[in-house]
Structures are given as C-alpha cells and as structure tokens.
Amino acid sequence: MSAPGRLVLVGTPIGNLEDMSPRASAALAEADVVACEDTRRTGRLLQRFGVRAPSLRVVNEHTEADATVALLARLAAGDTVALVSDAGMPAISDPGERLVAAAVEAGYPVEVVPGPSACLGALVLSGLPTGRFVFEGFLPRKGSGRVERLAEVASERRTVVLYEAPHRVARTLADLIGVCGEQRRVVLARELTKLHEEVFRGTLAEAAARIEETEPRGEFVIVLDGAPAAEEATDDDVLGALDRYRAAGASTRDAVADVAHDLGVARRRVYELANRPPERADPVRPSGRSDSEEDR
Ligand code: SAM
C-alpha cells in the first residue's frame, strides 16, 4: 500500500531571501505539488533556490474552495502537497486555513516548516509585552464590523498585532485614537527584513503625526499596547450608580444589570449591595452605665 499523502505548510521570506531556510527549500523540492497564491512569484522563488519546479497549483481567496477539493484528491492519491503563500507563513492573513482544516478533517498528516511571519517579527521587536498577545490581522475596512472590532481592540488587555496596507495606516491610526485615546503606546514596524526596515515607537498621537509628515510606503505592522487595567469599582461607586439608575426610574433588576455592565463588576456583587439593609446609627445607650459595666 502506498504511503498516505501529507500536507506541508512552508514559511517563506517576508522580504529578505536570506531568510529562506534549507528545510523550506528541501520541502518544496520533495513536494509533488506546491500550492501557492501566485505561480509566477513562487516560480521565481523556486528558481532562486534551484528547486526543480514541481507542479504548481493556485490557491487564493477566490480559488481556495475549489483548490481544496483538488488538493484533497492529490492527498488521497498519496501525494505530498506543500503550501506556501506570497510571503511569510501560509494561513496567516493568507490562504490556507480552509485547506488545513479539510486535510485535518480527512485525517491526513499536516506538518509545518516554520518561517518568518511579519506578526511575530513586529511583536518581538516592539518592546511591548510579548507574554500574552492577540493577532487581529487586517481590521474590517468599514461599516459596523470595523466599529465593533475597533471597540474590542480598544478594551483588549493583551498586546494587539494588526496588519495594514500603507495607504490605510493613517485612517487606522486615527480610528485607534478615537477608541483608545492619544496616549496609548504603539509601534509601527515597516518593511521588516528589507533594506528600508524601520521601527517607530511612541504614542498613537506621535505615530499619527509621523505618518502625516512622511508618505507611508511599504508594508506595515501596527503593534498596540494592551488597555490599562481598569480600577476596581468600590462599593460606594456601585451604590452611587445604583442610586442614579433608580432615581431615573429603573427597576432594581434593571439597575443591577446596567451597573454590573457599566462598571464591569459581577452582577451578584451589585445585587447583594442593592439589597443590603441600610446601615443604622448605634442605638442610644441609657445614661450612667459604661460599656465595661454592661459587660461585667
Ligand atoms: N502571511 C504573511 C505573514 O506571515 O506575515 C502576511 C501576509 S498579509 C497578506 C500581508 C501583510 O503582512 C502586509 O500588509 C503587512 O501588514 C504585513 N507584512 C508582510 N511583510 C511585511 C514586512 N516585510 N514588513 C512589515 N509588514 C509586513
């Protein structure tokens, strides 16, 4: 029986061809078919590294569904399928996710030959916390999807990594200022691994000013510091907010829900405070007897 087919995800350079690993070249040379976004671009890469061109198959956002069916047939025939994108890691803001999911679902082995990715490159040189981070890729371009995602990004406590096209960087920085304020720290990583690599570190306001004064060219990653921890609301904050909602006519049930949401505290805590009996003043003691006498 022939060996089962396997899918190999191969990372390729994001600008500097010296970053192509020997293992990546070998994986492409061994593959029966290389799935890629652009046959001319990948053809040049293969030529540069002396890899005899196996068959190339286009997988892009328009063809991924059909290509997945065709590539699963190759896996079923026992072929080794390598997947690359134009640059960096496939399936990271690039085609591949659907093919990988289908291969996993069908039970084929999936391997990775890791390579550069602009996300991790920008994150590690940003100087911002790397212990926990989220990758957001490209924000939705417009509409409610963009508004909602911006709100999520603004309240995210972990470092956020965003991709952006050069002609949209100014717009995105302006929108980030709108939701995060001017002072949030940000890093713009431009043209990583290339001749004109540049890293700008500052506040959102400073980054926006910088982009305004220099025409943004090349490829950009925006790395945004996480939102500062909100200060825990005190009991007085909660009681004050409850009073305001009740004074405006809200039922206790609605006031509890609204206050819990507004102050980001547990509904149970708000409920207990809402139902706490009011504190009474100390009862007046009969004159002539001290506490100590009473206690004796
Ligand atoms: N798959 C790629 C990866 O692993 O990074 C990302 C592909 S995505 C279509 C292209 C975006 O990645 C660009 O718009 C830019 O935000 C970012 N990018 C790619 N190469 C870059 C580089 N050399 N410097 C900075 N950003 C880069």
Do residues 131 and 28 make contact, with C-beta atoms less than 8 angstroms apart? no
For residue 128, how far is its CA from the centre of ligand 1 (angstroms)? Answer: 19
Separation of alpha carbons 22 and 126, rounded Å: 28
Token pair in block for residue 168? 């949209």
For residue 137, how far is its CA from the centre of ligand 1 (angstroms)? Answer: 9
**Residue whose CA is at the smallest distance from ligand 1 atom 13:** 219
Q: What are phi and psi of 36, to 5 degrees?
A: -145, 165
Separation of alpha carbons 37 and 94, rounded Å: 9
Do residues 152 and 125 make contact, with C-beta atoms less than 8 angstroms apart? no
Do residues 230 and 182 make contact, with C-beta atoms less than 8 angstroms apart? no
> Is the Cβ atom of 136 under 6 angstroms away from ligand 1?
no
> Is the Cβ atom of 94 under 6 angstroms away from ligand 1?
yes
Per-residue pLDDT of the chain (296 residues; tens, 9 = 90+): 567 899 999 999 999 999 999 999 999 999 999 999 999 999 999 999 999 978 999 999 899 999 999 999 999 999 999 999 999 999 999 999 999 999 999 999 999 999 999 999 999 999 999 999 999 999 999 999 999 999 999 999 999 999 999 999 999 999 999 999 999 999 999 999 999 999 999 999 999 999 999 888 999 999 999 999 877 888 998 999 999 999 999 999 999 999 888 888 889 999 999 998 876 655 555 444 444 443 43
Exposure b/e, 9-48, CB count within 10 A at least 16 = b: bbbbbbbeeebbbeebbebbbebebbbbbeeeebeebbee
**Residue whose CA is at the smallest distance from ligand 1 atom 19:** 118
Separation of alpha carbons 158 and 284, rounded Å: 55
For residue 89, how far is its CA from the centre of ligand 1 (angstroms)? Answer: 9
For residue 228, how far is its CA from the centre of ligand 1 (angstroms)? Answer: 28
> Is the Cβ atom of 14 under 6 angstroms away from ligand 1?
yes
Separation of alpha carbons 94 and 257, rounded Å: 41
- Catalogue all structural domains in the chain, each as residue range(s) with its CATH number: 6-116 (3.40.1010.10), 119-224 (3.30.950.10), 235-274 (no CATH)
For residue 153, how far is its CA from the centre of ligand 1 (angstroms)? Answer: 19
Pick from 59, 37, 35, 45: which is nearest to 12 by CA? 45
Place of tokens 């010296």: 18
Bridge-partner residues for 162, per DSSP?
137, 222
Place of tokens 């431009």: 190
Question: Which amino acid, one-letter code, is at 89?
Answer: M
- Give the pLDDT of residue 118: 98
